[in-house]
Structure 1
Amino acid sequence: MKTVGFVLMIIVTILMFGGVNYYIGLRGWQGVGSLIPFINAKIYWILFSIIAVSFILARLGEKFLPNSVEGYLNLVGAYWMAAMLYFLIILPLVDIGRFIGGKASFIPQGIRENTFIKTYAGLFVFLIVIGILIYGTYNAKNIKVSQYDINVAKKAGNVRELRIAMFSDAHLGSIVDNARLTKMIDKVNELNPDIVLMPGDIVDEKLSPFVKQNMGENFKRLKSEYGVYFSTGNHEYYGGEVEGIVNNLKASGVKVLSDDCVKIDDSFYIAGRQDIASLSYNKKERKTLDQILNGVDKSLPIILMDHNPKNLEEPQKAGVDLQVSGHTHRGQMFPSEYITRRLYEIDYGYLKKDNFNIVVTSGIGTWGPPIRVGNSSELDLIVLHFKE
């Protein structure tokens, strides 16, 4: 029964994907065919189909296609994912407007039957979507720094204040490349942090772009008094190379906390959890927080990295003072943020529950389309003020 259900889900997904792309492609041809009549319909549909399935072609061909070809297909496919979203939002509105306009007797006949409006409506929609993609690309590359000042009612040895640089969801790979990573590292170092925390999705599935572009050397440039710490996100598991990713980050000077906890300078604790995806993709169930914090002196501040901001009752009950998370991307592309808001108690920003604090970042990079609309790529500066 599970196999039948899975097959049905795949068939429905293919039909929906095909239907959506046919609708967009048909509207595109109606515009292109009228504006540029010498373009052959077969050529148009072949080119459109390649663009529409380029992301799938890149995934299917990653083992035998040249890296450059796969990279271009991946990039084109990523942008098409974004374009498809906004075409699917705007085109139906245009069609509804056309329908109402054709039926509304109060609209002058000259406007209703104006061939210029009918011909250029599609071009106008195309230009709007292109504009969104250009803006989103520019916006995604400009990292915003968000600062949170949080009071923790605990003493932390001789430490009175702790400056934490926190970022997640870099999704380093062929699209978010080493040049982008260089800007990220520079931005972190500008904050002069005491410690750097990276709660997951730093590498996007595959290890090979990380190694080929020598990204490990970039991570060695991170500067902080207490070091750089990382815990896994779901994307580290998706490609089946989590062990290689972890080992490469360790070789770059990053301390990996996988269901583990360390005491720093006899003043505070940093704990890191495996992402919940480890059970599905690595066949390994993560430890409970009580197991991770067993033997911890809870009179000292406890800071937790957990990629997915779910089940906040657990860290609250376990005595965690600050949790840092990512994963949600704050939707990444408007209006997806309305979905993430419903899925999580907090999908972005800061929340305090009694003595428990959590900061969820929108992420410093992007997944899929290298664009952000309605939100920003983000690096967080969290300043903890301890009891004296």
Structure 2
Amino acid sequence: MAFTPILLLFVLINLYIGGHGAYLLSHYAVPISPVVYWILFAILVFSYLIGRSRWLRGPVGRLLKVIGSYYFAVMEFLVLLLPLADLTAWICSLAGVPTNVFLPWIGWSTALVLLILLLRGSWNAWMPIVRTYELNIEKKAGALKELRVLVASDIHLGNIVGKKHLNKLVRQVNELKPDLILLPGDVLDDSIEPFLRNRMAEVVQHLKAPLGTFAVLGNHEYYGGHIEEYVKQMAAIGIRVLRDELVLVNDAFYVAGRKDKTAESAGGRLPSAELLAAADLSRPVLMLNHQPYQFDQSAAAGADVLLCGHTHRGQFAPNHLITRRLFELDWGYMRKDRMHVVVSSGFGTWGPPIRLASRSEIVQLRVRFT
């Protein structure tokens, strides 16, 4: 039932956008019937859902899913731009400016701004940066005095984020020569099919760190429904997916990996305190938890560093204003009692490969033990 008002709002928004398109076509006397126009527009609006349906497989379904992904960004930007265009048109009408004078200016200006937003957003999505955080942990880690950790969350490997972007990740990570690599969830976009079909594991296996690579599940791995196959594929290339598991690395520090919050309604997951119950808390503990919730519980359980993703920092503006209110920390760094918290905006993207007020990133941690 909760889905109904969301669907109704989605339809109303697109009737508003589609109405502007129909008006422009009629103004310029484009020879297309209204019925054909609205059918084609409806296919565009619902192309993402159509492409994900079980009845449409193969290249056509994948193409529709990609088109629909981009349309999500176009739709949100137009929701912001079209009211401004309507207001400008209304003012021009009140001032007595002929429609055939102001309409082209407003139409082309709106299209130009939309294009600039899409191009800039695409640059932010496909050109990842490295963000570095310096962390001090007041514990001994065996003979280690310093640990360099690279974190890549929310890669979203699928039909849009593919081997080209993945190769970029491998190259950038390996150039930084990390001691440890951590992947805090949503390595897959949802279905494992593109990951298998494009043999992406052959690229992922080139991520190299002497102390290993560890991952946890994100909500999208649960959505895809191929968790066991995914864990098997990752294990075959030497990457351990931690599902409420604790690992002592090099007899120096722990890596703890929680199941995603989605598991609370799909079989359950351990609370942080139970997960760390067997740990020697005189050693440092690095915890992975895909969704940035329950900071206080992780800190109380004894985690020294908590690494999360999930939010994408809203991915494109103004969504970051929403994620900022939804999460205690939606991006960046904070100190929770004695625990360091880092939430990454992610390396890949969900839906359109567009980012505004957000960048695709790799997180580098320089951890010093004292």
Three-state SS of the structure 2 residue aligned to 1:71 is helix
Q: 1:124 aligns with which of 100, 106, 109?
A: 109
- The CA distance in 1 between the partners of 2:342 and 2:6, in whole Å, is 35
- The CA distance in 1 between the partners of 2:229 and 2:354, in whole Å, is 28
Three-state SS of the structure 2 residue aligned to 1:373 is coil
Q: Is 1:72 matched up with 2:57? A: no
How far has the Cα of 1:135 moved from its partner? Answer: 2.2
Map of 2:293 onto structure 1: 310
The 5 A counterparts of 1:150-165 are 150-165=135-150
- The CA distance in 2 between the partners of 1:359 and 1:178, in whole Å, is 27
Map of 1:149 onto structure 2: 134
TM-score, length-normalised on structure 2?
Answer: 0.96
The 5 A counterparts of 1:53-132 are 53-60=46-53, 63-103=54-94, 107=95, 109=96, 112-113=97-98, 115-132=100-117
- Residues 315-349 of structure 1 show CA distances to partners (whole Å, capped at 9, x for unaligned) of 11111110110011001010100001111111111
TM-score, length-normalised on structure 1?
Answer: 0.92
How far has the Cα of 1:114 moved from its partner? Answer: 5.3
Map of 2:305 onto structure 1: 322
How far has the Cα of 1:265 moved from its partner? Answer: 1.2
- Residues 62-100 of structure 1 show CA distances to partners (whole Å, capped at 9, x for unaligned) of x34341101110010001111000101110122123334
User: More deviation in 38-47 or 366-375?
Assistant: 38-47
How far has the Cα of 1:369 moved from its partner? Answer: 0.9
The 5 A counterparts of 1:285-296 are 285-296=268-279
Map of 1:185 onto structure 2: 170
Q: Which letter does structure 2 place at the counterpart of 1:29? A: A
Map of 1:3 onto structure 2: none
Q: 1:273 aligns with which of 246, 251, 258?
A: 258
Three-state SS of the structure 1 residue aligned to 2:134 is strand
- The CA distance in 2 between the partners of 1:137 and 1:349, in whole Å, is 21
Count of aligned pairs between the two proteins: 370
- The CA distance in 1 between the partners of 2:28 and 2:105, in whole Å, is 8
CA contact (8 A) 2:137 2:304 kept: yes
Three-state SS of the structure 2 residue aligned to 1:380 is strand
- The CA distance in 1 between the partners of 2:313 and 2:251, in whole Å, is 35
* CA-based RMSD: 1.5
Three-state SS of the structure 2 residue aligned to 1:93 is helix
Q: Tell me the percent identity.
A: 38
Q: 1:25 aligns with which of 10, 18, 27?
A: 18
Q: 1:364 aligns with which of 316, 341, 347?
A: 347
CA contact (8 A) 2:334 2:342 kept: yes
CA contact (8 A) 1:219 1:253 kept: no
The 5 A counterparts of 1:190-205 are 190-205=175-190
- The CA distance in 2 between the partners of 1:10 and 1:293, in whole Å, is 38
How far has the Cα of 1:42 moved from its partner? Answer: 3.3
Three-state SS of the structure 2 residue aligned to 1:229 is strand
**Unmatched 5+ residue regions in structure 2?**
none
CA contact (8 A) 2:313 2:330 kept: yes
How far has the Cα of 1:233 moved from its partner? Answer: 0.8
